[in-house]
Amino acid sequence: MPTDAGEADDLLAALLPRLSQISTAVTRGKLDERAMAAAGVALERPAMTVLTVLHVAGEPLRVGEIATRMQVVGPHVTRQLNALEARHLVQRVTDPDDSRARLVELTSEGRDLATRYLGVLFGWFTEALADWSPQDRRTLTGLLARFADDLTAHLARFAD
């Protein structure tokens, strides 16, 4: 832990370029697009994100929950779901807890696409971390999750 404000500023000054480096590697490197191409998936990035959210959830979700997990508004998700449903990659099912509500689940074809896409991404990350110890990988995962959650919560205070 930093012992004073100057040390904290020095640590943050070292962190910011690294965050920028990661962001650049993901966005300019077109990580999503390259992974979709390598997996043979012909979708736009937002549609792939919907499939990924559903796959990671491992259960059907309401549209609002998908939107929350994607950090977008509901109508954006609804547009993507309509297109994915037309391609038979997702389907709407009745919520067993509320017969008036609908949930969205992956079809077997949608699950296959998400599995292939995530397999490519996981393979790349596994290769990048190949020389890391299991403890270092666990530490990275825990600290990165904590940082993302804390930063998101902090910035939410400044939202419109």
User: Domain of 45?
Assistant: 30-128
E strand segments, 23-158: 90-95, 98-106
pLDDT level of residue 3 (50, 70, 90 thresholds): low
In a domain, 158, yes or no: no
Token representation of residue 48: 């792939």
In a domain, 136, yes or no: no
Domain count, the chain: 1
CA-nearest of 97, 108, 102 to 77 is 102
17 lies in some domain: no
Examine residue 144 and state whether it is found in any structural domain, yes or no.
no
Q: Is residue 59 part of a domain?
A: yes
Q: What is the pLDDT of residue 117?
A: 97
pTM reported for the whole predicted model: 0.84
Summarised one tens digit per residue, pLDDT across range 99-137 is 899 999 999 999 999 999 999 999 999 999 999 999 999
Domain membership of residue 56 (yes or no) is: yes
CATH number of 87's domain = 1.10.10.10
How far is Cα of residue 150 from the mean position of the Cα atoms in its chain? 17
**55-78 pLDDT tens trace:** 999 999 999 999 999 989 989 999
